[in-house]
Structure 1
Amino acid sequence: MNTNNRGELPAGRSFSLFGRRSFCGALLASVVFWFIKKSAALAHHSREGTPASANHDPQPIVSLGGDVPLVRIDLIEGTSEAYRTKVGEIVYQTLVDVLKVPEHDHFHVITEHPKGGLPFDRNYLGIHRSDACIFFQITLLSGRSVELKQSFYKTLVDRLHEEVKLRKEDAFINLVEVPKENWSFGNGEAQYVTTVS
């Protein structure tokens, strides 16, 4: 834009040097303010949207659930009481060690069945099961991670194999997750549910 020494515009309108400088300064300040605000917003968004794996702090794979498992153990009749007791102890200790249930949280139902009373597929998924197959159904509060469950399966089967010589193919495990209001430990009350007055 062309002006004369007095800052006059070609159309005869005047625009002082001081006025131009003030306008440019205000414009520059607005741009700087916008840039700072935008940068702060982007930084906040980045922090909020960063996946846990990108954090420098190690993230545990454990997703803790609740306590109080109810364990059902079913097997074909013919085993000794000592054997069944040992199997129950191994399950209990693995629950404490891996799923972190509290000690003395020990509720098991161990049932023997006649061979015809416990039918199962002997080769489902290519896993050969024998008459020694044991079925473990564990009901517990929901919330454990997939990784933790996988660790529990492996640890339990390894211990059963080492301590009672159960073939790894003969351990059938089923976890049943339920919400906390599905438990009553006596007196007809839901002890895990907070009463709302």
Structure 2
Amino acid sequence: MPLLTFHLVEGRTDTELKTLLDAAHRAMLAAFKVPERDRYQIVHEHKPSRFIVEDTGLDIPRTEKVVVVQVTTRPRGRAAKELFYRLLVEELERSCGIAPSDVMVSMVENSDEDWSFGLGRAQFLTGELGGNGGD
């Protein structure tokens, strides 16, 4: 954990998607200081007519490369979140050619009892994952 869900316009190749996911993982590792194998990523691809991402009146230009990332996570401090936003756009621009203006992020926080990694157990609560769950 965290769980990163990516929404984007369909049409990227498998190689492009892997590059995007790897770049996002690097940003997440650096910002949130989680173990390398804390990697949970899901991609949802949408037809262009079913994916509208405007700019909330901020005059932010969007292209067909727009990516919306929803991060579901245990609570994070403001500094870690802001570092993630910055590192994510840097990694995506450098690795994928995605402009920072094409990256939108939403954080959704929850708590230890909201996670089960399998086997019908809440591993943060049972002690199978340490007090900070690798976060």
- The question of 1:78 aligning with 2:11 is answered yes
The structure whose RCO (Cα within 8 Å, separation 6+) is larger is: 2
The residue identity in structure 1 corresponding to 2:123 is: Q
Q: How many residues align?
A: 127
Name the structure 2 match of 1:182. 114
Q: Deviations over 1:147-167 (max 9, x none)?
A: 221111111101111111111
Alpha-carbon RMSD: 1.5
Is 1:91 the equivalent of 2:24?
yes
* TM-score in terms of structure 2 length: 0.87
Aligned-residue offset at 1:84: 0.8
Q: Secondary structure at the match of 2:7?
A: strand
Alpha-carbon distance in 1 for matches of 2:97, 2:22: 15
Unaligned 5+ segments in structure 2 are 128-135
Decide which structure has the larger Cα Rg and report it: 1
Report the AA paired with residue 162 of structure 1.
R
Output the CA distance in 1 between the equivalents of 2:106 and 2:35.
20
1:120 deviates by 2.2
AA aligned opposite 1:173: V
| Structure whose residues are more often strand by fraction | 2
User: Among the aligned pairs, what percent are the same residue?
Assistant: 28
The structure whose residues are more often helix, as a share, is: 1
Unaligned runs of 5+ in 1: 1-67
2:64 corresponds in structure 1 to 131
Rounded to whole Å, the distance in 2 between the matches of 1:88 and 1:124 is 29
Distance 1:133 1:122, change over 3 A: same
- CA–CA separation in structure 2 for the residues paired with 1:97 and 1:182: 24
Q: Secondary structure at the match of 1:193?
A: helix
Could you tell me the TM-score, scaled by structure 1's length? 0.61
